[in-house]
Amino acid sequence: MPDRGDKDVDMNEKSVSFSEGQTQNVPYIHKIGVPPKPNLVKEFKTTVKETFFPDDPLRSFKDQPKSRKIVLGLQAIFPILEWGRSYNFNKFRGDLISGLTIASLCIPQDIGYSKLAYLKPQYGLYSSFVPPLVYAFMGSSRDIAIGPVAVVSLLLGTLVSNEFDPDTQPDEYLRLIFTATFFAGITQATLGVLRLGFLIDFLSHAAVVGFMGGAAITIALQQLKGFLGISTKHFTKDTDVISVMKSVFKNAHHGWNWQTIVIGASFLAFLLVAKYIGKKNKKLFWVPAIAPLISVILSTFFVYITHADDEGVAIVGKIDKRINPPSIDKIYFSGENLVKGIRIGIEAGMIALTEAVAIGRTFASMKDYKVDGNKEMVALGTMNVVGSITSCYVATGSFSRSAVNYMAGCQTAVSNIVMSIVVLLTVKFLTPLFKYTPNAILSSIIISAVIGLIDIDAAILIWKVDKFDFVACMGAFLGVVFKSVETGLLIAVVISFAKILLQVTRPRTAILGKIPMSGVYRNIEQYPEASKIPGVLIVRVDSAVYFSNSNYIKERILRWLTEEEEEDDDLKATKIHFLIVELSPVTDIDTSGIHAFEELYRSLRKRDVQLVLANPGQQVLDKLYASGFPDLIGENKIFLTVADAVHTCSPKLNHEV
């Protein structure tokens, strides 16, 4: 291979003239930058670093003494050691108030969500005790509120109940729940340790909006069961809207209980009004935050004094008041239940992760601090692993409680510690009080909570911005509503991938024209005032040229040429002699792409058109030289800018024409 460093581009460099300031005077034609031969090892290192360590986690460790390194290492694993040192009473006041607020919100939610997962109420409370504590020591988000959430509870309940019936096989059911929780944690921690956090980026925003909306509707519909007082035995376990509505109406004549409906409907109205007040006046955020607890207290008291439970109003019943019994012996570590647990754990873990990371990022960007995605995953994973051996099911960040936490003025993760202590005290001392709590009130609380997950504004924005994204959003939504949570998820992921692949397969190309009074060439569709240069066709390729699109790009360019020539024939205009391909947006090329350009060159030569390249980037130029392409078309056919290329081509044209 020739030494490329020495190859100067052979080009008629005309006299250079200067003007004042930034004014430029063409014709001075700058050489294209042929970079030195890249160092393979260095390039590989850069790719690995950008893929797995874009945040340069070891940066602060550099040039530090060993003892300092150990301290930094511990602080990296337990951020509380870092921020805890500057913790003060002022901050604690904020954390105490917000911790108490989210505790009052989480207790009724926990009891309700554990029903979504077909679990006894205490497991929801357990999951609001251990995981938030672990997170407080390891997590880097200051605003997230940890605990069970509606969507993950529904997903876990659906997946595990497909394997074991929670009514007839309660032991196996519970064991598989803990197994799945354990592997959800392992999945999350592994992604963090292997620095594969970017995998969750593959679930697009649009897909998440649709998925959440669908899950919210599914969950709300399922609450009709508790809301109408239909007994669990008569109700379907399917989550799609058609099965649920069938179940509801099949039970209409004998299963509905009017007392239950009255209680549920009046408190739902109360909760929705509270929510509305909180939305209208941000200072009254605590109204919707404590409304659920007030509803629970009022309705429990009401049932207790009226003995409504004897009238068929279903109540929560006795809650076990032991504190988080150990459950490590319940996890399946062998057999086919292990495989099921791993599969369910991976799914639930990924969804939980997506939610937590989205919440972490949202609030971090509002307060402008940085959440380290990979470290966050390790924290979430550890908390779920620890949770799985202490009778918790998958916990993650709850959007509604995190928002309340933020608005109540939380300062650090200490608010999670406050919340978990309140939950602990509740389990220990207050569970007897929940005995007479009607199930209908829990349904009302869940309905009013999940309504917030239906984000119509976001869906409208998605429709406005990108129709394809909207299809992904609706696909996920309809999949969840009409089939199942898993189907919706699958649809969302498939459509998201299809979009990326379509963009890579059928990239855009554009014809460029000269913007008047400038040396700038732009898409003539976007800038109708841009004018074409007679005898020259300028095409811009808007994507990396890969095997998946190289053939399309070649044929598209030739098609532009054919169309242009036909138009020229009609107008009796100058025949096209130069085809300039603007490569600025072409970030990379592979062997298939180079073959396509070689074929393009040959086809053009047959048509007596010269191929000229403008502004190839570093990667592209590198690979073109490696394959000897510049020797084929002539090195003086590669230019820094379209303007330079046109300037060099046009005079030749005048000779010929």
Task: Record the tokens describing residue 441, joined without a space.
Answer: 């009130």
291 binds a copy of itself, rule: CB under 8 A: no
How far apart are alpha carbons 146 and 131 in whole angstroms?
7
Helix axes 241-250, 467-482, angle to 10 degrees: 40
Edge-to-edge order in the sheet of strand 610-614: 521-523, 509-514, 536-541, 578-582, 610-614, 638-639
How far apart are alpha carbons 442 and 478 in whole angstroms?
26
64 binds a copy of itself, rule: CB under 8 A: no
Closest separation in Å from C-beta 628 to a copy of itself = 9
- Residues 202-241 touching a copy of itself, rule: CB under 8 A, are 202-206
45 binds a copy of itself, rule: CB under 8 A: no
Of residues 25, 60, 231, 636, which one binds a copy of itself by CB under 8 A? 25
337 binds a copy of itself, rule: CB under 8 A: no
Q: Which is nearer to a copy of itself, 574 or 592 (CB)?
A: 592
Closest separation in Å from C-beta 251 to a copy of itself = 41
Piece in contact with a copy of itself (CB under 8 A), picked from 147-155, 263-271, 275-283, 589-597: 589-597
466 binds a copy of itself, rule: CB under 8 A: yes
594 binds a copy of itself, rule: CB under 8 A: yes
Closest separation in Å from C-beta 537 to a copy of itself = 18
Of residues 23, 67, 86, 88, which one binds a copy of itself by CB under 8 A? 23
- Residues 124-163 touching a copy of itself, rule: CB under 8 A, are none
Q: Name 110's Cβ contacts closer than 8 Å, sequence gap at least 6.
A: 121, 124, 125, 127, 128, 147, 148, 423
35 binds a copy of itself, rule: CB under 8 A: yes
In what helix (H) or strand (E) does residue 338 lie, and over which residues does it extend? helix 336-367
Q: Which is nearer to a copy of itself, 140 or 179 (CB)?
A: 140
Piece in contact with a copy of itself (CB under 8 A), picked from 134-142, 153-161, 199-207, 437-445: 199-207
194 binds a copy of itself, rule: CB under 8 A: no
**Is 612 in a helix, a strand, or coil?**
strand
344 and 191 Cβ atoms separated by less than 8 Å: no
Alpha-carbon torsion (273, 279, 283, 287), positive or negative: positive
652 binds a copy of itself, rule: CB under 8 A: no
Measured at the CA of 170, the angle between CA 166 and CA 173, to 5 degrees, comes to 70
201 binds a copy of itself, rule: CB under 8 A: yes
Size of the site for a copy of itself (CB under 8 A): 108
Q: Which is nearer to a copy of itself, 64 or 518 (CB)?
A: 518
- Residues 484-543 touching a copy of itself, rule: CB under 8 A, are 496, 499-508, 510, 515-520, 522-523, 525-528, 542-543
Q: Which is nearer to a copy of itself, 54 or 73 (CB)?
A: 54
Closest separation in Å from C-beta 266 to a copy of itself = 39
C-alpha distances (whole Å) from 360 to each of 177, 241, 394, 493 are 26, 32, 17, 22
Of residues 556, 560, 573, 574, which one binds a copy of itself by CB under 8 A? 556
The DSSP symbol for 563 reads H
> Residue for token digits 């941000």?
282
C-alpha distances (whole Å) from 257 to each of 210, 297, 307, 490 are 33, 21, 15, 38
Of residues 621, 633, 638, 645, which one binds a copy of itself by CB under 8 A? 621
How far apart are alpha carbons 595 and 551 in whole angstroms?
9
559 binds a copy of itself, rule: CB under 8 A: yes
How far apart are alpha carbons 15 and 400 in whole angstroms?
68
Choose among 211, 549, 460: nearest CA to 347: 211
- Residues 374-393 touching a copy of itself, rule: CB under 8 A, are none
195 binds a copy of itself, rule: CB under 8 A: no
603 binds a copy of itself, rule: CB under 8 A: yes
Piece in contact with a copy of itself (CB under 8 A), picked from 119-127, 434-442, 572-580, 586-594: 586-594
